Amino acid sequence: MRRTSFADWPCTVARTMDLLGDWWTPLVLREAFYGIRRFDEFQQGLGIARTTLSDRLRRLVEEGLLTKREYQSDPPRYDYVLTEKGEDFFPVLVAMMRWGDRWLADEAGVPVILHHDRCGHDTEPDALCGSCGERIRSLETSVRLGPGYPPRLAEREDVQRRFAP
């Protein structure tokens, strides 16, 4: 089954989903944030098929979220290490965690707690405004066309309605 590519859409959410593509990719990244580096550890922790994991790791390396670092030459073995681009994905996982903690956790409570090592406290995941530091809420946030939005699409009536001030 062929899937639609969103790589050229004028929407970074669509482009991100094009990169993620399936449910395994964010879970592979989650494991990388948990400190997993080796193929067998990813495979064991996720219970993912080896061929599927190979595909996901290859794509994450190609896209620059992970880098391969050889730790053994005979036979060749690699660690998969988050790059700066990969580290920047952390807030995306935190946002997913926040939503899941609120709506999908069971009576026992949330399955994972974030601990902020710098201040020494457990913390709840949140999205904050980069200017004022307040929590971002959808009803208090609007979207505007950015400089990268294609001018030919910006003129369309449906786009004008969606992004009206």
pLDDT over 80 at 164, yes or no: no
Kindly give, in sequence order, each residue whose CB lies less than 8 Å from that of residue 69, ignoring residues fewer than 6 positions away: 78, 79, 80, 81
**Closest among 116, 164, 34, 129 to 154, alpha carbons compared:** 164
Domains and CATH numbers, the chain: 12-83 (1.10.10.10), 90-138 (no CATH)
Q: Average pLDDT in the 18-28 region?
A: 87
- pTM equals 0.81
pLDDT in tens, 47-69: 999 999 999 999 999 999 999 99
pLDDT in tens, 120-158: 999 887 888 889 988 888 788 887 888 888 888 888 887
DSSP letter for each residue of 15-83? HHHHHH-SSHHHHHHHHHHTT--BHHHHHHHHT--HHHHHHHHHHHHHTTSEEEEEEEETTEEEEEEE-
Q: Which of 2-6, 37-41, 73-77 has the lowest mean pLDDT?
A: 2-6
DSSP letter for each residue of 71-133? EEETTEEEEEEE-HHHHTTHHHHHHHHHHHHHHT-BTTB-S--EEETTTTEEE----B-TTT-
